[in-house]
């Protein structure tokens, strides 16, 4: 079987299981799926294993299979792994993060809720209290960006943004003590981000996000 045939089988089985789940029917067993799609149980098992690894499917002994809700975090995990293994250069990550942030800015300004603003303000306050502990402030900045991307209300864009964040964090780990050398301007940048959100300034949000990403990533690119 070719890769394209394997991918086609995965898509067909996934679509069938989704239909079963929506109708409330009990999901077919491995044996029934093999008969239904006229393939070996081994091939069905490989498909189910892949769906499980992707976070789409859960299999519990004696309870059968259930479809899991695919969150932006799960999508990001899969995409991030592929990005990390692809040998993409840091410069490309920087360009992609800036381009994506620019596109998301208008959606974030349009859709941000009062609850999201409160979450961002709380994270910013925690960052200000942790400025002397740079690794802690850095991690809070990551959470700030995650909350910001979620405010876009677009799970596809959120997943891509999170995947780029996760891949970038992998580079940080490889660079050793890079957290201690992160720019001191992260807190100030997040203040500007929150200010732009409060006054519904999409252009200003895009500009400050782009500047913050450059200040965060350039030290490592030039390292």
Output b/e per residue, 49-67; b: 16+ Cβ within 10 A.
Answer: ebbeebbbbeeeeeeebeb
Least confident of 19-33, 39-53, 132-146, 167-181: 167-181
What is the C-alpha to C-alpha distance for residues 180 and 200, in angstroms, rounded to an integer?
A: 33
d(C-alpha 59, C-alpha 65), whole Å: 5
| Higher-scoring residue by pLDDT: 45, 173 | 45
The count of other CB atoms within 10 Å of the CB of residue 217 is 21
Structure tokens at 195: 């200010």
Spell out the residues 6+ positions from residue 163 whose beta carbon is closer than 8 angstroms to its own. Answer: 75, 76, 77, 79, 80, 83
Cα–Cα distance, 155 to 108 (Å, whole number): 12
- Domains of the chain, first to last: 3-67 (1.10.10.10), 72-221 (1.20.120.530)
The confidence band for 154, taking pLDDT boundaries of 50, 70 and 90, is very high
CA distances from 153 to 52, 53, 145, 148, 150 (A): 26, 26, 14, 10, 6
DSSP alpha helices (H): ranges in 54-185?
72-85, 90-111, 114-129, 134-150, 155-174
Q: Which residue has the higher pLDDT, 169 or 99?
A: 99
pTM (two decimals): 0.68
Both tokens of 92, joined, read: 């490309």
pLDDT score, position 127: 87
**Structure confidence by residue, pLDDT tens digits, 108-149:** 999 999 999 999 999 999 988 876 667 777 888 889 999 999
Return the pLDDT at 194: 95
H or E stretch covering 46: helix 41-53
Summarize pLDDT for 67-81 with one digit per residue, the tens: 766 667 766 776 677
């Amino acid at each position: 079987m070719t890769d394209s045939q394997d991918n086609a089988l995965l898509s067909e089985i996934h679509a069938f299981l989704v239909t079963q789940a929506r109708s409330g029917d009990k999901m077919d067993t491995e044996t029934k799926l093999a008969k239904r799609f006229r393939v070996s149980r081994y091939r069905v098992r490989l498909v189910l294993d892949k769906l499980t690894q992707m976070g789409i499917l859960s299999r519990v002994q004696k309870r059968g299979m259930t479809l899991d809700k695919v969150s932006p975090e799960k999508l990001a995990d899969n995409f991030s792994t592929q990005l990390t293994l692809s040998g993409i250069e840091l410069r490309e990550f920087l360009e992609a993060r800036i381009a994506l942030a620019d596109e998301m800015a208008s959606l974030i300004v349009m859709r941000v809720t009062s609850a999201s603003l409160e979450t961002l303000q709380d994270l910013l306050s925690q960052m200000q209290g942790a400025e002397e502990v740079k690794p802690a402030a850095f991690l809070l900045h990551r959470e700030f960006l995650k909350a910001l991307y979620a405010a876009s209300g677009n799970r596809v864009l959120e997943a891509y943004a999170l995947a780029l964040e996760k891949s970038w964090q992998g580079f940080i780990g490889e660079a050793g003590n890079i957290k201690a050398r992160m720019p001191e301007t992260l807190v100030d940048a997040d203040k500007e981000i929150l200010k732009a959100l409060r006054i519904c300034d999409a252009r200003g949000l895009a500009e400050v996000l782009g500047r913050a990403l450059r200040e965060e990533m350039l030290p490592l690119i030039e390292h």
